[in-house]
Homo-oligomer: A and B are copies of this chain.
Amino acid sequence: MHREEYGESEDCLGTVEADPQDPAPAARDAMPKDALGAARRSALLAALPAAAAESLLARGTIRCFRKGETIFVQNEQARFIHVVLDGWVKLYRMTESGSEAVIAVFSAGQSFGEAIAFLGFPYPVNGEAVADCRLLQIETRAFGEVVRFNPDCVEPILSAMYHHLHALIVQIEALKARTGSQRVASFLLELCDVSKGRAEVTLPHDKVLVAGRLGMKPESLSRAFSRLGRDAGVRIRGNVATIQDVETLRRFSVRDPALAWSRSG
């Protein structure tokens, strides 16, 4: 560990250019201690052998993106593997006809792009900051140099990929075999930090993005909220959902197999 290698920055959002094509030299020096800690605790780096993780940290750059900024573009050659230190990142596909499909939303501690960095593939998705965020970017070449011939790195990388694979499988299950209202119920339950009784959760994004994550039109999300109010004791005000009873909501999220194919439920 070479903590002295990292400089200090007052406010990353204020000091680092957010153009990924031309990293400012300043960005390379800026690795505030809180970011270093967040990076070390990320699922990928925490699972790698310590020496490999520190080597990646020493070669990584922290970059800050403002809400709405593009991080990378679908089909462009992957230049970085990304670790989210704080904020939210949306990965999405654009169809040929110009529609957007949200594939995943990542938050602090999560990484993405491990496989394409290793394989040298283009990004299969677009990346966009959906809140101001700080990302650790590790160049694909640096990543390859550190992990390629280190057998102890293989399992953590495969594990990170499997995590992505599993999340997509669960998402497809939800899209195919649950109603929209059930998907909203599950989403609220994921945000919930208690397992029974009353709870209050804050929606982490605006309703258009919540709808996109769940594969619904914004107006379908509104209808789902109404249904949850009627049948599952959930009240939405602004971006706060009040859940009268978590157990009731959980039952709602898994019942109703007859409606499972219906998109309107």
**Residue ranges of A at the interface with B (Cβ–Cβ < 8 Å):** 93, 95-103, 115-116, 118-119, 121, 124-125, 148-149, 151, 154-155, 157-159, 161-162, 164-166, 168-173, 175-178, 212, 215-217, 220, 254-257, 260-264
A115–B161 CA distance with the chains assembled, in angstroms: 8
Closest to A172 in B: B103
Query: Which residues of chain B are near A118, meaning CB under 8 Å?
Result: 154-155, 158
A171–B159 CA distance with the chains assembled, in angstroms: 22
Does the CB pair B115–A165 fall under 8 Å?
Answer: yes
Does the CB pair B158–A115 fall under 8 Å?
Answer: yes
A263–B262 CA distance with the chains assembled, in angstroms: 9
Does the CB pair A177–B217 fall under 8 Å?
Answer: no
Known contacts A119-B155, A254-B97; is A125 also within 8 Å of B169 by CB?
yes
A263–B216 CA distance with the chains assembled, in angstroms: 10
Does the CB pair A177–B256 fall under 8 Å?
Answer: no
Query: Which residues of chain B are near A119, meaning CB under 8 Å?
Result: 155, 158-159, 162
Q: In whole Å, how far is A182's beta carbon from the nearest beta carbon of chain B?
A: 9
Q: In whole Å, how far is A21's beta carbon from the nearest beta carbon of chain B?
A: 24
Closest to A151 in B: B149
A102–B260 CA distance with the chains assembled, in angstroms: 13
Q: In whole Å, how far is A219's beta carbon from the nearest beta carbon of chain B?
A: 9
**In-complex Cβ contact of A177 among B101, B149, B166 (8 A):** B101
Does the CB pair A165–B168 fall under 8 Å?
Answer: yes
A169–B165 CA distance with the chains assembled, in angstroms: 9
Closest to A121 in B: B162
Query: Which residues of chain B are near A161, meaning CB under 8 Å?
Result: 115, 158, 161-162, 165
Does the CB pair A260–B97 fall under 8 Å?
Answer: yes
Q: In whole Å, how far is A241's beta carbon from the nearest beta carbon of chain B?
A: 22
Query: Which residues of chain B are near A95, meaning CB under 8 Å?
Result: 173, 177-178, 254, 257, 260
Query: Which residues of chain B are near A102, meaning CB under 8 Å?
Result: 176
Closest to A162 in B: B115
Does the CB pair B261–A217 fall under 8 Å?
Answer: yes
Q: A124-B166, A263-B264 are in contact. List 9 more A-B contacts (CB 8 A).
A: A93-B172, A93-B177, A95-B257, A100-B177, A119-B155, A121-B162, A158-B158, A165-B168, A172-B215
